[in-house]
Amino acid sequence: MTNRTKFCYYAVVTSLLISQTVLAKEAELDDKIKVCSEISQDAARLLCFDQLIDVSNSKLAPQITALTAAQVDEFSKVHVKKTDKEIAEEINSITLTISTLSKTIRGQWKLTFKNGQKWQQKDTTKLRLNEGDLVVLTKGALGAVYLQKKNTNKRIKVKRLK
C-alpha cells in the first residue's frame, strides 16, 4: 500500500467513526423525546421535557463569573474625560537603562532593562543601541509605546513582553 492509499483509508475510517458518534447522540435524544411524548399525564410529561432540556442546556451554558464593583466601575473608563488631577498623575514616559540586548531573526531588538522589564521592537526601523544606554519609553496614540535613545530624535515602536 502506498502512503496515499493509507492516508485515504485512515481518513475514511476516521470520518465514519466521527459520524457514528454524532448520529448516536442524535438517536439518543430522539429516543428520550419519544419516551417523554408517550407519557399520558400532562404534569409528568411536562416535567420529563423540562428535565430533558435542563440536561442539554447545562452542557451548553457558559460559566458566569461575578464582577466586583471595582471591575464594573473601571469598565471602559478610558473613554471618560480625565480630571486635571488624573492627568497630572498619569505617567507618559519613563527612563530606563539597558541591561542586555539581543536581536531576533528578523533583526528586531529584544531588550532587558535593569528593573527586569523585557521589551521587543515591533517595527523595522534601525536604531543603534548598546548595553548601558539610557533610553526613554514614551506612550503614543492608540496604546503604542516608543523607545528613544536619550538625546536623539530617532525612535522605534516596542511592545512589552514581561
Topology of the domain comprising 86-160: OB fold (Dihydrolipoamide Acetyltransferase, E2P) (2.40.50)
pLDDT reading at 18 higher than 70: no
Residues belonging to the chain: 162
Cα–Cα separations (whole angstroms), residue 17 to 4, 12, 13, 20, 23: 20, 9, 6, 5, 10
Range among 33-37, 42-46, 110-114 with highest mean pLDDT value: 110-114
Q: Exposed (0-12), middle (13-18) or buried (19+): which is 121, by Cβ within 10 Å? A: buried
What local confidence, expressed as pLDDT, does residue 60 receive? 56
Least confident of 29-43, 51-65, 90-104: 51-65
From the list 126, 125, 101, the residue with the least C-alpha distance to 111 is 101
From the list 30, 49, 51, the residue with the least C-alpha distance to 41 is 49
pLDDT reading at 63 higher than 70: no
What's the average model confidence in pLDDT over 96-109? 92
What local confidence, expressed as pLDDT, does residue 119 receive? 92
Q: What is the pLDDT confidence band of residue 24, given thresholds at 50, 70 and 90?
A: low
Cα–Cα separations (whole angstroms), residue 75 to 80, 89, 110, 162: 10, 20, 32, 24
What local confidence, expressed as pLDDT, does residue 9 receive? 66
Model-level pTM greater than 0.75? no
Q: In which element (H, E) is residue 127 found?
A: none
What local confidence, expressed as pLDDT, does residue 136 receive? 92
- Measured between alpha carbons, how far is 51 from 59 in angstroms, rounded to an integer? 13
What's the average model confidence in pLDDT over 95-122? 92
What's the average model confidence in pLDDT over 5-33? 65
What local confidence, expressed as pLDDT, does residue 8 receive? 64
